[in-house]
Structure 1
Amino acid sequence: MKKSNERLPVYQNIKTEIREWIQTGIWKQGGLIPVEVTLAKEFGCARATVNRALRELAEEGIFERRRKAGTRVVMPTGRSANFEIPRIRLEIEETGATYHYALLLREVTVPPANVRSKLETSPEICSLHLHCLHYSNESPFQFEDRWIDLKSILEAEQEKFEDINPNEWLVKNVPWTNAERILSAANADAKKAELLSLAEGDALFVIQRRTWRKENLVTYVRLYYPGRFYQMRTIL
């Protein structure tokens, strides 16, 4: 197993690596995976640890497990096959620009009421709150205001998000089943104008997105783009 996060249980690190194998195509959609004994040797752990990782991944919809028939990577549903969560890094790099990102805020706190309603959490539950600024070359391209439900994604509390942005981390580590996206326009307040190198009151293009894994809401994010620079293209 490659370098793991020592702050997480072994089975969680196994789950993370298996997700990466599927994302990168090492394990193909629809294909059978190695038996638990083989994986235990690969990861250098007990078979029971591998069993827990595979069982939880099966519960998340990653695998289909059948007695005497083995464990198979589940083919994507029509929804997940036809709609992908965009990766901001690729969005910028595909224009020929250089991408980099800055983490401005990371805190575990109780969300305000308007965010709790989006996350569907109760007032005593803490969530992970992140502010990020994504750059195209040296120009601010997107301000990200994200909340992650730690009840659904416990591993996120251990991730510092210093070396990987939350968008990429979630796409890599958290398979999703449903998503809601709301597009709107807004005017920049003083804070967002300063972050995005705009004048206060300038137009912003705003994307709100909520993402679920089965019945569990994973994350709620508000993405702010300078309105005069950003355009969205959709092919039907």
Structure 2
Amino acid sequence: MSMIETMEAEGGEAVSLHQRILSDISEKILSGAWAPGHRIPFEHELTTEYNCSRMTVNKALSQLAKAGLIERRRRSGSFVRQPQSQAAVLELHDIRIEVEALGLPYRYERLARLKRRSSADDRALLGLSAPGLVLSLECLHFAGQRPFAHEQRLINLAAVAEAGEEEFLGIAPGPWLIGRVPWSQAEHRIRATAADDHVADALDIETGAPCLVVERRTWSAEHPVTHVRFIYPAESHTLVARFTPSQG
């Protein structure tokens, strides 16, 4: 290899460029000079800056990712990792609050909206006993520039007829529903999954990457209102449950 892979530190100690790259980037992150979400220079930029091989740079970035300091995204590069979000399992939380608790700006985007006759799968998800109209929504929630959660939602229009006229362009369906329909019962299901191509593209992660799925159904009296599926990149989200001993 023609490139110099070591440098002489003060006192004459030989320090590998791999260690120097690790040290320099770690110091910028831990000092706050590079804030969460900051893009790390691309590999070819670091190769030029440190006059080293692409393999050396890749090794350093891989080690930083394993340590949890950065994340490497498909097509986008490497970024300083965001603090991990926490959400209470037994609450109907607003994703905006989750994001703002991280000190990051929140943004919402509606990806798709379709009013249709319910399918058998729709009725199973909502717990409907008879066919009817539903509203299907696909949404994306952002923390800063990064996709934070992918939302897939069904709304039972027999229970919330006015949702059929709402475009959900300026407001996410979750807070919209909470502000209009008093819910009396909720059910959460939590599971792990691997991102399929569609979800991976929306969340800017690798296909097959581990994700956390939170599914929720709510009722108003005896009427099913909505079924929603939130999909989070697994490394960025934690669910928390606080409870007391049974009094039985």
Q: Shorter-chain-normalised TM-score: which range?
A: 0.5 to 0.7
Of the candidates 125, 144, 147, which is equivalent to residue 118 of structure 1?
A: 125
Q: Which has the larger radius of gyration?
A: 2
Distance in 1, Cα, partners of 2:215 & 2:122:
12
Question: Is it true that 1:140 corresponds to 2:181 in the alignment?
Answer: no
Percent sequence identity over aligned pairs: 36
Aligned length: 155
**Distance in 1 separating the partners of 2:142 and 2:206:** 18
Deviations 1:79-103 (A, max 9, x none): xxxx541011111111111100100
Letter in 1 for 2:223: N
Amino acid at match of 2:218: T
Contact 2:126 2:156 in 1 (8 A): yes
1:153 and 2:164 matched: no
Asked whether the 8 Å contact 2:128–2:224 carries over to 1, the reply is no
Indicate the structure with greater strand content: 2
Question: Is residue 2:248 matched to residue 1:228?
Answer: no
Amino acid at match of 2:184: T
Note the alpha carbon deviations across 1:102-136, whole angstroms, 9 max, x for none. 00001101343222112233674220000000000
Structure 2 stretches of 5 or more lacking a match?
A: 1-89, 244-248
The correspondence for 1:210, drawn from 207, 217, 227, is 217
Q: What residue in structure 1 maps to residue 93 of structure 2?
A: 86
Label 1:128 to 1:135 Cα distance change in 2 as closer, same or farther (>3 A).
same
2:181 aligned to which of 170, 174, 180: 174
Partner of 2:137: 130
Contact kept in structure 2, 1:206 and 1:222, CA below 8 Å: yes
Q: Can you list the C-alpha shifts for 1:12-41, whole angstroms capped at 9, x where unaligned?
A: xxxxxxxxxxxxxxxxxxxxxxxxxxxxxx
C-alpha RMSD of matched pairs (Å)? 1.6
